[in-house]
Amino acid sequence: MKFSLPTIQSHIFKRLFFICLAGFFLALTFGFGFVAGKNAEQPTLTIAGVVNKDIPQAFQNTLNGTDFDIFWTAWSRLQEKFINKDKMDSQKMVYGAISGMVNSLGDPYTVFLPPQQSKAFKDEIKGSFGGIGAEIGIRKSILTIISPLKDSPAEKAKLLPKDQIIKINASSTAEMPLEEAVSFIRGPIGTTVTLTIFRDSFNEPKEFTITRNEIKIPTIKHESKGNGIYYIALYNFNEVSGNQFRTALQGFFDSKDKKLIIDLRNNPGGFLNMAVDIASFFTPAGAIIVREQYHDKTEDLYRSTGYNLLNGVPVVVIVNEGSASASEILAGALRDINGSKLIGEKTFGKGSVQELINLPNNASLKVTIARWLTPNGTEINGNGLEVDRKVLVPEKPEEGRDYYIDTAIEMLKSR
């Protein structure tokens, strides 16, 4: 029997939602100031003129007496005193100033992308790319693996969530911006990159040499587990996730199974609209799936479309430290709205929203503009979601046994 499954409505989103990514705003202040003031003999008066003339009043009000004199004085003294005049690149100096401004915010996901990095980032989000297949982010100021992607070089090299990347080839990652680290790890297919990794079980860092390959992000796996239990593993939330989830649901209905396991382990997230769409199969129309909260505490509420075909179906959701972003949204919504149980380990805690802003000269700004809260108001970012039951794996696990799935089956048998 074929069930009529809802189709995804067409949406155009200018915001981007990704594992381990971020952004910025006042770059134009430095741009205008540079053009008007680089040859000025009185930097204070010149920058004041620029602010009063060229910057909208709304932004002038945010300056709060900020003294730009120190910037222009430093600029002019460098132009006057620096010994290697032939090595001075004014455009790079401007880019460096913008990067420093953005870094001062202390948000690893808010970054300035000069033209070359901006192009690489935009190429990456189009689909496939050359790399090792690991989502990375910044955790406690350290470059960290969020999750290796399914069947990727990173997974085959046995990289794990929470692995700390100490070096990329010979370059230390201390204070290295996230996008710069990504650009170092990415490279031509067939070439290698060496990551120096530290994890809790290591006595000292170890080197992993990984061969780059084309990365095609996997989406879904599904099958019946017997005992009336169906299993759906979501590896990513990309543009095809919604339709592939519909295919999995057809398999669920055809199987006559009555209970579901949703496996979100090592799912680094992806598109917000896909998480909302999938959550809509479990929730009534109008139910809040996620709250998007801005700096002034106002909120955009993303609500269920109300497909509601799975409302009342017992569900266990498997998560781990590699579950981030959109996967945390789905897990949080299923628990808050439907009472689904979360098992495994505490999730990563990537719950912020980034917007990509195009700047002059093909540069761009990726700026964090909001944070995500679950329907009941639990903040995801920096906290993650605690599980209802932690899965304990023996020090010497049985080969081929998945203790997480076994635990989920055990819980569903009793429901």
Predicted confidence (pLDDT) per residue in 77-114, tens digit: 999 999 998 889 999 999 999 999 998 998 888 989 88
Q: Name the 3-class secondary structure at 136.
A: strand
Average pLDDT over residues 22-28: 28
pLDDT at 119: 76
Task: Quickly list DSSP for 343-396.
Answer: EES------EEEEEEE-GGG-EEEEEEEEEE-TT--B-TTT----SEEPPPPSS
Work out the angle between the directed axes of helices 90-103 and 27-37 (0-180°, nearest 10): 150
CA distances from 199 to 18, 133, 205 (A): 24, 19, 8
Which tokens hold the place of 54? 């060229």
Contact 369, 351 (CB under 8 A): no
pLDDT over 50 at 5, yes or no: yes
Task: Look at residue 24 in the predicted model and tell me its pLDDT.
Answer: 27
Q: Nearest 5°: phi and psi at 393?
A: -100, 130
218-354+369-413 classified as CATH 3.90.226.10: yes
Top-level class of domain 128-215: mainly beta
Q: Specify the pLDDT at position 186.
A: 87
- Cβ-based burial of 350 (10 A; exposed 0-12, middle 13-18, buried ≥19): buried
Q: Which helix (H) or strand (E) holds 208?
A: strand 206-211
The reported pLDDT for the residue numbered 55 is 53
CB atoms within 10 A of CB 89: 10
Neighbour tally for 360: CB within 10 Å = 9
First to last CA, the chain: 26
Phi, psi of 208 (to 5 degrees): -120, 115
Structure tokens at 348: 């990563």
Name the percent of the chain lying above pLDDT 70. Answer: 82
Asked if residue 109 lies in contact with residue 368, where contact means CB atoms within 8 angstroms, the answer is yes
Q: Where are the domains of the chain?
A: 27-104, 128-215, 218-354+369-413
The residues annotated with a catalytic role in the active site are 325, 336, 350
Q: What is the rounded average pLDDT of the residues 262-271?
A: 93
How many CA atoms are closer than 13 Å to the CA of 342, on its beta-carbon side?
A: 25
Alpha carbon distance 30, 415 (integer Å): 61
pLDDT of residue 130: 74
Report the distance separating Cα 390 and Cα 202, nearest Å: 23
Count of all residues that appear for the chain in the document: 415
In order, the DSSP letters of 143-170 are: EEEEEEPTTSHHHHTT--TT-EEEEETT
> Which of these, 172, 154, 27, lies nearest to 103 by C-alpha position?
27
CA 350 to CA 165: how far, in whole Å?
18
- Report pLDDT for 410: 96
pLDDT grade for 31, boundaries at 50, 70 and 90: very low
User: CB burial class (10 A; 0-12, 13-18, 19+) of residue 208?
Assistant: middle
Residue 51 has pLDDT above 50, yes or no: no
